[in-house]
Structure formats: structure tokens, C-alpha cells
């Protein structure tokens, strides 16, 4: 890949090596953090060496993000000690943590959408001229310099709201790097980007490691662990389980440590008798976004969508579901043309659509789990003999789903905002399963979901296919697309470049079509 170019462009921090009288740049000892009803961190420890990548693994809700927020000064620990460069330190505010040399990429995008890329990166650190006024051209130049160093090609003056989720993630990465910190925390940085950007990110990480930065890297993807991490620590249910060198263990060892049990086969794909064409899309076009998109999905079929970021996969899904209706082209369900002008029409047609960005278009953050999971349900499915909504049955089925999906929560009345990222995602999947859809569109369904729950979700999807549901699955994780799909549709710059059968689809054939 292009690693040489990146490394060359990044000046390795001077000829003088950093003076290091400490073995660990960051040490966390006996840290405890309790939320009402949840002991999120129970006497945990973490030791990160300078110039190394330390992965943090654990199931959804294990306490990984909570610990990172403690280190970044966002949460205050109930007890315990944090040592930075060998010295004990208290981090009362995010500002204090930043000034002490800790930078963090958060699990959820945390950008000011109405502001520009440059403004987001340099907020609170804007360059000023001698009168104390912000020097916008200098800020622009600094951004370009940073992007050049990291090999990122984005317009510094673009407003964040006009960028794709993946590009927003790249902005977050650039912002975190721009602090030139000693400790860089990355909380699931790759959950929203495709493999090519992951490779790009890894180039960046390798050069940062060379500069002596200690990197804490959270991920649910095993292959990333082996590719980039030097060491890893495992947490389970808020407890520290252990630390090992990643070269010493196998995938199954780690899963055993994380889950405390072994997980069945990853992609439980089963051959399903395919029915008639359920959804048919013909010549769908949205000017400037995608063109002439046509495909069929049969009952019981899983159609995977592959392609690079910005290839228009999500836009096609949004068009079918009526979020941004297409300019031209037709959609047919069960052989009849339908006119879907908004998501409500789509839901009435038995469609369900799990969106890509759980925070922006998924969760109702101020509502509890129950309200969130039941927010899309068509009450016809839950009407009792008296003609009223059978709330008891609805609640029962919601709880059943949460159990199946392993949502980790004290109760159904917990605010969704307090759930860990992966558990929020599970609730959103539950929301759409509760609608008993005929056509299920999943955009990055297993984003941020741990290995155990992932295979659970794949099983659920397979079961739905068995029942004759037509599934469209968009995923940036190629193994997931290849493992689960009957056919794979590949897009490139808004055009369908090919639809491959399960037998002919593999890493190479898909990438060839995706990159052209």
C-alpha cells in the first residue's frame, strides 16, 4: 500500500529521541466508576507503552469507552489512579487532559456539523494574528498541511454536514492527530469506514507509533487486532481480565477471554429456497448521486451491497425507503409499481431500514429503550381482540428481542443515551425486527457490535430470510458481505458495476468492480 508515502511525509519527531525515564506513557490503576445501577468499571488497570499500539477488547458494555472517557477527563473516576509519563495526574476536565497530552477519537462522531472542516479541527486552538483575531487563511494552510501529512484529500472549507460519514471520521482522525499528543485514544475508529480507509488509517497509526506515541485502540474486529496491535487488554463486565502480546494468542483465545465462552461459527449462512422477486428496482436515478440503478431481490434472498465510501450505496437505500426520493426510475414490490414518497409509505409497504448513523438518524437519545424499540412498530401487528393495542404483548416481544440480541442494560426503562454504542445499535436492529418487515434494508448492521452479538445478529437475519423476507445488506466489512449474501451488488461512483453470484464473489472480484 502507500505506507511509504505517508511515513515520508510525517516528520519523525526530530533527530533527538524523546527522553524517556518511564516504561509506560499511560498507567491506569484500580480505577472504579459506577453509574446508577451499573458498575461500569470495577477496579481496572491498563498500561500503555510509548511507541506501541495497545488494543482494548471486550463485549458491548464491557466498559471500554467509559475508561477512555475517564482518561480523557470527561468522566471522573470514583477511585483509582492515573499516571501519565510516570507521574500521577488528575484530569478534571477534557481541557486538562488535552493540555496534558491526551487526545481522543470518540466512538460516536463528535463534530460541529454546521461548521467547516478547518473550524472543527482547530476549535479552541485557532491561529490568531497579532491583534488576537483569528487568521482564517493561516487556519486553512494549517489544515492543508495536516491533510498533506496524513494524505487526506478533503476541502478544509467544506461544511461537515456535506461530508459522508466516512469522511467525517477522517476529519476526527486528523483532528486527534493534530494535537501531537503523547497518548492517542481511538475508540472504534474503523466502524464507519471501508477497508481502503482502514488501510490508510493504519499507515497513519504506524507512523505515529514510530514517533513514540502510545496508542490505545478499541475495536471489535479481530483481524485489525492482529494487524496493528502490539499488545491488548481484555475487559469483561467492567472487570480487567488480562494483558497479552498479540503475537502470543489466537483469535479463539481472545474470544474466550472476552466472552467467557466460545462463539459459534461466524457467518451462519444457510441455503434458503428463494421465492419470487419481492423488490425490484428499475433505472433509479438521483441526479449527481447515483445513476440507472437496477436490481431484484427475491423473497428469502440476502443481497449484499459492496463498494467504496461515496459510491452511493446508502443513497440508493435512502431513495428506496423514501428518505430522499429518487428523481427518476421505478420501484416494484411483488410485481406492482409503488410510489414511495416518504419513509411512512415505505413502512406501510412492509419495508424496514436500519440507517447508517445511529446517533443522527437512529436513536431518540432522550427516550428509553422501550420507547426506542417500539417507535417504528405498526400497531396492526399488536392489536388484541378488543381492537386496542396490546401493549403487554408488545412489551413482551420487545423484551424478548432485547434478550436475543443480548442488550446489556439494567432494565427496559433505561435511557438509550446511557447504553454503550454497541448496545444502542442492537436496540435499533430490534426496532426494525419488531415491525415484522417483508423487505429489510440494513445499512452497516453490525457496526460497533462485538463478536458474540454479531453472530447472533447474523443468525437472526438468516432466520428472517428463511421466513421469506428479502434482505438488502450494506456493509463496509467485506467478509460480512461475502459471508452472508446470496448475491453481491457492487457500486462505484453512483453506478452499479456488477452483480456477482455467491459462487463468483470473492475479495478480488468485488474489489475489482468497486475500484474499477
Partner 1 sequence: MTTLNDTIKTAKDSQGAKKTKRIPPEVSILLVLVGISIMFEILGWMFIGQSFLMNMSRLQIIVLQVSVIGIIAIGVTMVIITGGIDLSSGSVVAMSAMIAATFAQSSNWPKVLSPALTDLPFFVPILVGLAVGAMAGFVNGWLITKTKIPPFIATLGMMVSARGVARWYTDGSPVSGFTKEFAMLGNALDRWMPVVIFIVVAIIFHIVMRYTRFGKFTYAIGANPQAARVSGINIDRHLIKVYTIAGLLVGLAAMVAIARIKTAQAGMGLMYELDAIAAAVIGGVSLSGGRGRIAGTVIGALILGVMLSGFTFLRIDAYYQDIIKGAIIVVAVVIDQQRQNKRKKTT
Ligand X SMILES: Nc1ncnc2c1ncn2[C@@H]1O[C@H](COP(=O)(O)OP(=O)(O)OP(=O)(O)O)[C@@H](O)[C@H]1O
Residues contributing to the site for partner 1 (CB under 8 A): 1-2, 72, 74, 93-95, 98-99, 104, 106, 110-115, 119-120, 123-124, 126, 128, 132-134, 136, 151-155, 157-158, 161-164, 166-167, 194, 196-197, 199-200, 288, 308-311, 324, 493, 511, 515-516
For ligand X, the closer CB: 60 or 314: 60
Among positions 50, 66, 91, 382, the unique one binding ligand X when judged by CB under 6 A: 66
Phi, psi of 464, rounded to the nearest 5 degrees: -65, -45
- Closer of 402 and 510 to ligand X (Cβ): 402
Nearer to partner 1, 120 or 420 (CB): 120
The distance in angstroms from the start CA to the end CA of the chain is 17
Nearer to partner 1, 126 or 390 (CB): 126
Q: Is 58 or 307 the residue whose CB approaches ligand X more closely?
A: 58
Per-residue cell: 512: 475489482
What distance in Å separates the CA atoms of residue 90 and residue 88, rounded to the nearest whole number?
7
**How many Å apart are CA 170 and CA 450, to the nearest integer?**
23
Q: Running DSSP on this structure, what letter comes out for residue 227?
A: H
Neighbours of 106 (CB within 10 A): 20
Binding mask 222-261 for Mg ion (x = CB under 5 A): ----------------------------------------
Candidate segments 19-27, 60-68, 223-231, 431-439, binder of ligand X by CB under 6 A: 60-68
Is residue 65 within the footprint of ligand X (CB under 6 A)? yes
CB of 187 to ligand X, least distance (A): 7
> Could you tell me where the DSSP H helices lie in 164-312?
165-178, 195-210, 222-228, 251-259
DSSP E strands in 106-238: the ranges are: 183-187, 214-218, 231-236
Interacting residue with ligand X among 6, 25, 31, 38 (CB under 6 A): 38
Which of partner 1, Mg ion, ligand X, none binds 63 (CB below 5-8 Å, type-dependent)? ligand X
- CB-based contacts of 494-498 (< 8 A; 24+ apart in sequence): 494/289, 494/290, 494/291, 494/311, 494/312, 494/315, 495/290, 495/291, 495/292, 495/293, 496/292, 496/293, 496/294, 496/295
Of the two residues 6 and 434, which places its CB atom closer to partner 1 in the complex? Answer: 6
**What sign does the dihedral 502-506-509-512 (CA atoms) show?**
positive
Q: Does 35 contact ligand X by CB under 6 A?
A: yes
The size of the interface with ligand X (CB under 6 A), counted in residues, is 21
How many Å apart are CA 478 and CA 51, to the nearest integer? Answer: 30
CB of 123 to partner 1, least distance (A): 5
From residue 94 to residue 133, the character string flagging contacts with Mg ion as x (rule: CB under 5 A) and all else as - is -------------x--------------------------
How far is 3 from 228, CA to CA, in rounded Å? Answer: 13
Q: Which residue is nearest to ligand X (CB)?
A: 422
Question: Per CB under 5 A, does 65 bind Mg ion?
Answer: yes
- How many angstroms separate the CA atoms of 159 and 156, rounded? 8
Nearest to 28 by CA among 254, 257, 243, 244: 243
Per CB under 6 A, residues contacting ligand X are 35, 38, 40, 58, 60-66, 107, 408, 418-423, 448, 450
Amino acid at each position: 500500500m502507500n505506507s511509504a508515502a505517508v511515513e515520508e511525509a510525517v516528520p519523525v519527531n526530530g533527530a533527538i529521541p524523546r527522553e524517556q525515564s518511564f516504561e509506560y506513557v499511560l498507567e491506569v490503576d484500580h480505577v472504579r466508576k459506577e453509574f446508577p445501577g451499573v458498575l461500569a468499571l470495577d477496579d481496572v488497570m491498563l498500561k500503555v507503552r510509548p511507541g506501541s499500539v495497545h488494543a482494548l477488547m471486550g463485549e458491548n458494555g464491557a466498559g471500554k469507552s467509559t475508561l477512555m472517557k475517564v482518561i480523557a477527563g470527561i468522566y471522573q473516576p470514583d477511585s483509582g489512579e492515573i499516571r501519565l509519563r510516570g507521574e500521577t495526574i488528575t484530569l478534571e476536565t477534557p481541557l486538562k487532559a488535552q493540555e496534558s497530552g491526551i487526545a481522543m477519537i470518540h466512538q460516536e462522531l463528535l463534530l460541529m456539523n454546521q461548521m467547516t472542516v478547518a473550524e472543527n479541527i482547530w476549535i479552541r486552538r485557532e491561529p490568531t494574528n497579532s491583534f488576537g483575531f483569528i487568521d482564517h487563511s493561516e487556519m486553512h494552510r494549517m489544515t492543508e498541511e495536516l491533510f498533506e501529512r496524513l494524505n487526506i484529500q478533503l476541502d478544509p472549507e467544506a461544511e461537515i454536514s456535506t461530508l459522508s460519514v466516512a469522511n467525517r471520521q477522517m476529519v476526527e482522525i486528523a483532528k486527534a492527530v493534530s494535537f501531537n499528543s503523547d497518548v492517542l485514544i481511538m475508540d472504534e475508529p474503523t466502524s464507519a469506514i471501508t477497508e481502503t480507509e482502514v488501510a490508510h488509517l493504519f499507515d497513519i497509526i504506524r507512523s505515529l507509533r514510530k514517533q513514540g506515541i502510545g496508542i490505545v485502540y478499541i475495536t471489535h474486529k479481530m483481524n485489525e487486532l492482529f494487524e496493528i496491535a502490539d499488545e491488548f487488554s481484555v475487559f469483561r463486565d467492567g472487570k480487567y481480565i488480562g494483558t497479552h502480546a498479540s503475537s502470543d494468542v489466537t483469535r479463539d483465545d481472545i474470544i474466550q477471554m472476552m466472552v467467557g465462552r466460545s462463539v459459534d461459527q461466524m457467518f451462519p449462512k444457510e441455503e434458503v429456497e428463494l421465492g419470487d422477486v419481492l423488490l425490484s428496482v428499475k433505472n433509479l436515478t438521483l441526479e449527481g448521486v447515483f445513476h440507472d440503478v437496477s436490481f431484484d431481490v427475491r423473497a428469502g434472498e440476502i443481497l449484499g451491497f459492496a463498494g467504496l465510501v461515496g459510491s452511493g450505496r446508502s443513497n440508493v437505500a435512502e431513495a428506496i425507503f423514501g428518505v430522499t426520493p429518487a428523481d427518476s426510475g421505478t420501484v416494484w414490490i411483488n410485481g406492482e409499481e409503488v410510489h414511495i414518497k416518504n419513509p411512512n409509505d415505505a413502512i406501510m409497504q412492509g419495508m424496514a431500514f436500519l440507517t447508517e448513523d445511529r446517533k443522527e438518524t437512529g436513536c431518540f437519545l432522550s427516550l428509553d429503550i422501550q420507547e426506542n424499540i417500539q417507535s417504528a412498530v405498526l400497531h396492526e401487528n399488536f392489536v388484541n381482540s378488543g381492537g386496542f393495542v396490546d401493549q403487554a404483548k408488545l412489551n413482551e416481544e420487545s423484551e424478548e428481542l432485547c434478550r436475543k440480541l443480548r442488550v446489556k442494560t439494567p432494565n427496559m426503562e433505561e435511557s438509550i443515551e446511557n447504553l454503550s454504542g454497541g448496545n444502542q445499535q442492537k436496540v435499533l436492529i430490534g426496532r426494525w425486527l419488531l415491525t415484522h418487515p417483508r423487505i429489510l434494508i440494513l445499512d452497516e448492521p453490525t457496526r460497533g457490535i462485538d463478536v458474540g452479538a454479531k453472530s447472533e445478529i447474523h443468525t437472526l437475519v438468516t432466520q428472517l430470510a428463511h421466513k421469506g423476507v428479502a434482505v438488502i445488506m450494506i456493509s463496509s466489512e467485506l467478509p460480512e458481505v461475502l459471508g452472508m449474501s446470496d448475491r453481491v451488488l457492487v457500486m462505484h461512483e453512483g453506478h452499479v458495476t456488477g452483480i456477482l453470484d455467491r459462487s463468483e464473489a470473492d475479495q478480488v472480484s468485488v474489489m475489482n468492480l468497486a475500484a474499477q
